[in-house]
């Protein structure tokens, strides 16, 4: 346990990461910061750097699997940095802004572009780092500017960062995203809403969106679907403790009843092994493990 801690309210000790992740697993974090302002975020990062304390950023916690043992270091949770502004075709959002809230706001404002992101939980910061999206498009296509802090606390601006985005990846040199500017198109609110409803209905039919999960576990291998490969290995419905390979979509592992990190990794490892044995394909994790 780290000895001295700042006494300000956003800092807590021993917070269980299982309560801050959609998968519902994870041990306690030595230090858990919830900065209320960008200034506080910078101060906290400087404080951690000056003491050589390792840290990880947690947005919505919807794409992560955290180990059951204590996280030796600090977690910085961005969820309170959640303000957003709208000006013409642009939306500027702090990194902790909920993606679902932004999609909803775009429907009301008659701004088109974010529809493919409907049904994806989490924050805009996490979505940018993962280049979240799907068949209908990825968030990288809409990003006009990213503001970030280097791990040393230096402010950086990435203008027109289109070439930094790849498949499920936004490359910002390990910096911590603080603000994102999205550029959208004008469209009638009813058209945007209709498109959102269609995509949502599509996803609900083929993904276990109401179960506890971390979304797709593996990236799709080139030209293939990880879900289809795992399915073809006959693994749908396979359980380990309280975790289960979703019977709806095999690239989702769902926490049905108090499953642990170990249970999760057992199923993920099994899927990886079987797919390698049967198809000679190496699947890479999409989720982040820490």
Please report, as ranges, the residues that interact with ligand EPU according to CB under 6 A.
134-135, 206, 215-216, 219-220, 225-228, 231, 249-251, 286
Calpha distance 58→69 (Å, rounded): 17
Task: Identify whether 216 is a catalytic site residue.
Answer: yes
Annotation says 233 is catalytic: no
Cα–Cα distance for residue pair 283/290, rounded to 1 Å:
19
Residue 26 or 227 with smaller CB distance to ligand EPU: 227
Provide the minimum distance between the beta carbon of 94 and ligand EPU in the complex, in angstroms, as a whole number: 23
For ligand EPU, which residue has the nearest CB? 134
Least distance in angstroms from the C-beta of 204 to ligand EPU? 11
Among 133, 111, 106, 108, smallest CA distance to 122 is for 133
Catalytic residue among 147, 216, 233, 266: 216
168 is catalytic: yes
Min separation Cβ 124 and ligand EPU, Å: 16
**Measured from the CB of residue 99, what is the shortest distance to ligand EPU in angstroms?**
12
Nearest CA to 24 out of 260, 281, 267, 192 is that of: 260
CA-closest candidate to residue 217, choices 171, 270, 170, 165: 270
Check 90, 105, 168, 232 and give the catalytic one: 168
Q: Which is nearer to ligand EPU, 26 or 116 (CB)?
A: 116
Nearest to 93, CA basis, from 115, 75, 78? 78
- Residues facing 181 on adjacent strands: 92, 145
Residue numbers annotated as active site: 168, 216, 286
């Amino acid at each position: 346990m780290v000895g001295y801690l700042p006494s300000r309210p956003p800092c807590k000790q021993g917070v269980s990461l299982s309560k801050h992740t959609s998968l519902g697993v994870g041990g306690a974090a030595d230090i858990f910061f919830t900065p209320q302002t960008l200034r506080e975020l910078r101060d906290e990062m400087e404080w951690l750097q000056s003491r050589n304390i390792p840290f990880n950023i947690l947005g919505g916690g919807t794409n992560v699997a955290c180990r059951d043992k204590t996280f030796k270091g600090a977690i910085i949770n961005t969820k309170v940095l959640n303000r957003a502004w709208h000006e013409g075709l642009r939306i500027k959002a702090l990194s902790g802004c909920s993606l679902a809230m932004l999609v909803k706001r775009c429907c009301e404002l008659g701004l088109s572009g974010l529809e493919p992101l409907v049904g994806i939980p989490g924050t805009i910061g996490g979505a940018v780092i993962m280049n979240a999206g799907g068949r209908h498009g990825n968030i990288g296509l809409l990003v006009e500017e990213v503001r970030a802090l280097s791990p040393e606390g230096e402010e950086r601006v990435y203008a027109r960062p289109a070439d930094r985005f790849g498949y499920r990846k936004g490359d910002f040199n390990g910096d911590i995203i603080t603000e994102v500017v999205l550029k959208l198109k004008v469209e009638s609110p009813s058209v945007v809403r209709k498109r959102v409803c269609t995509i949502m209905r599509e996803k609900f039919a083929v993904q276990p969106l109401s179960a506890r999960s971390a979304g797709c576990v593996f990236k799709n291998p080139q030209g293939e679907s990880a879900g289809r490969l795992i399915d073809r290995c006959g693994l749908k419905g396979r359980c380990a403790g309280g975790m289960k390979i979703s019977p709806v979509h095999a690239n989702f592992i769902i926490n049905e009843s108090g499953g642990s990190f170990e249970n999760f990794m057992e199923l993920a490892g099994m899927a990886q092994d079987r797919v390698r044995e049967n198809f000679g394909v190496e699947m890479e994790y999409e989720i982040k493990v820490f």
